[in-house]
A and B are shown apart, each in its own frame.
Chain A
């Protein structure tokens, strides 16, 4: 992520890109740059490419030695297997994909609905010990989430949230709310409070002023924040594997991981499932890429 941010949002004036190049020997430097970037790109992209290749290879080509890079027969059988069970009907994987959509979607909506008004309130109102409160909220993200897996597991068992989608939704929302508050506070700070003041003088209540004037201006920020939250919930693995066990609750990451570990591994199916799993996130990230950059540089780094 850091690399793409630096590329898209230059921190210095534009001349920084051209003049130093000349100083260090012009063409030589740019050739070196391109070479290094190419190596980097290959290293970064190879696993993804290999995943895509494997997903469209027949199983005997997957195991072929030497590896077949180009001359293999393309098949879509693995993708069919992702969605359709061997005896017909829906496969367990397709159920888990649907679960992922529900869990990630609902937890993101929940985090946004709770976090955006909170961010607005922290930005607009003089709250007692505001900085301490904000720091406390942030501090819940300091620890690696895996630290609390076992306590959460025990608590969930007591209250009956084990092996339920609601349990996953709640825990993901809990992780995403602090993040949403912090990122959105940056965006809210950027929208002048005078809009709301003016609207209040014009006859609206404070909430109406927020709803009608500030919120529309915040939409790009909300989109960026929601995508971050969505990606977190979508990719989350540790809590999903600890807190769920049955096929009709399990989300996609543990379900895909569960494909590995039998006596034989159907690598084609694993790869195809992974491709299907990665696609929505890629599409979302591509759609809001501008806002993601803005979110990284503006929302998170202020003050």
Chain B
């Protein structure tokens, strides 16, 4: 087991595309580290560089204390699970699992022992004599995970391993992966574009955009205080409301007059944007205390909650998360008020967190 250090990683393809601009990561030993971002943000390229499947243009990668820049993938002692499971189609499950061990040249008895152990861990018993095309998607992914396990590598690299599974199975496998990682305590780098996966799995999350790291933090930090407007808009469903605000007599006030709890020490004379989570707002009867007049544009009734889209005279409509007991009709005149603590505030031009 080992931590992974990525320093000033830069990857430029021969055709001139810059896939990774500048990435620094410090992944702890035994950590489940998630790289999250939209497609084309460089997360998969970074992972492939760690695996040794792509050679970075500049920058260093260390696994444990070893500088692995010039090592081929096989000598980095890592295992990778792919979105498309990449089980060898001509081999039975048993042989698929044994394959990397035989490639290492382990004695037969040990190969069998390790395969049995991995099969027990992933509950593959009845599938051992089948070929990949006779396995379902979920089963194939369990075999792929088991194939990564048998190696007992220093780190697991996961490249969107659950994307091809259906929703229910994905939730199950998520739990399974998290449990497995906790049990084995092996460092895991997990790439996904699914924020739910990232939030539920990661000890820490790195949010990548356009080949750069926008933020690294625990799921809670990332949710509570997104480091940039990009992160603010990316994390959360429905996303954060980005409201243009100005500082006036110690208060944070939007154009519509909505008053927000001000964070301490705000820079003045700058265009500011506050990031307000849908649950930090409240739809009230019109004219309620501290509320501004607003109008319900639409309501999404989700069973356990209602998402109201509300027009409060600002540039953009805001989304408000309300319990299902509070009902307002579409187009009804209502009040809107802020109930949460101080929201993160961003500079509108640099898009970075200022308070």
Contact = CB atoms under 8 A, between A and B. Distances in A.
A217 B91 CA distance: 13
B100 A203 contact: yes
Interface in B46-96: 48, 51-53, 72-74, 78-80, 82-86, 88-90
Which 9 pairs between the two chains have the least Cβ-Cβ distance? A194-B86, A203-B103, A202-B100, A203-B74, A198-B86, A128-B14, A194-B82, A200-B73, A126-B13
B300 interface: no
A192 interface: yes
A201 B150 CA distance: 13
Contacts of A195: 86, 88
Contact of A205 (B72, B82, B104): B72
A199 B89 CA distance: 12
Given A127-B14, A128-B14, A217-B89, A200 B84 contact: no
**A192, A195, A203, A217: which has the most chain B beta carbons within 10 Å?**
A203
B53 A130 contact: no
Contacts, number: 57
For the residues of B in contact with A, the DSSP-based class is loop
A194 B15 contact: no
Contacts of B48: 197
B300 to A, nearest CB: 36
Contact of B74 (A126, A127, A130, A201): A201
A201 B89 CA distance: 17
B328 interface: no
Interface in B251-307: none
A72 interface: no
B230 interface: no
A23 B79 CA distance: 59
Contacts of A216: 90
B84 A201 contact: no
A203 B53 CA distance: 12
B89 A204 contact: no
Contact of A201 (B13, B79, B90): B79
B78 A201 contact: yes
A63 interface: no
A213 B87 CA distance: 11
Interface of B: 13-15, 48, 51-53, 72-74, 78-80, 82-86, 88-90, 99-100, 103-104
Contacts of A201: 51-53, 73-74, 78-80, 100
B291 to A, nearest CB: 55
Nearest to A212: B88
A202 B15 contact: no
**A129, A130, A192: which has the most chain B beta carbons within 10 Å?**
A192
23 contacts: A126-B14, A128-B14, A129-B15, A192-B84, A194-B83, A194-B84, A194-B85, A194-B86, A195-B86, A197-B73, A197-B82, A198-B80, A198-B82, A198-B86, A200-B52, A200-B73, A201-B51, A201-B74, A201-B78, A202-B74, A203-B74, A216-B90, A217-B89
Given A197-B82, A216-B90, 8 more contacts: A126-B13, A126-B14, A130-B15, A194-B84, A197-B80, A200-B53, A200-B73, A201-B73
Contacts of B73: 197, 200-201
Interface string A175-216: 000000000000000001011011111111100000001001
Interface in A105-151: 126-130
**A192, A194, A202, A217: which has the most chain B beta carbons within 10 Å?**
A202
Nearest to B99: A202
A198 B48 CA distance: 11
B349 to A, nearest CB: 36
A212 B99 CA distance: 12
A197 B51 CA distance: 9
Contacts of A126: 13-15
A213 B74 contact: no
B83 to A, nearest CB: 8
Nearest to A125: B14
A239 to B, nearest CB: 37
Contacts of B90: 216
A202 B53 CA distance: 12
B150 to A, nearest CB: 10
A216 B84 CA distance: 19
B88 A213 contact: yes
A195 B14 CA distance: 23
Contacts of A202: 74, 99-100, 103
**B53, B84, B90: which has the most chain A beta carbons within 10 Å?**
B53
Contacts of A197: 48, 51, 53, 73, 80, 82, 86
Nearest to B54: A126
B184 to A, nearest CB: 18
B31 to A, nearest CB: 21
Contacts of B84: 192, 194
A195 B52 CA distance: 15
A300 B83 CA distance: 28
Contacts of A199: 88
Contacts of B80: 197-198, 201
B113 to A, nearest CB: 19
A205 B34 CA distance: 29
Contact of A128 (B15, B89, B99): B15
Contacts of B74: 200-204
Contacts of A130: 15
Nearest to B100: A202
A5 B152 CA distance: 51
A53 B88 CA distance: 52
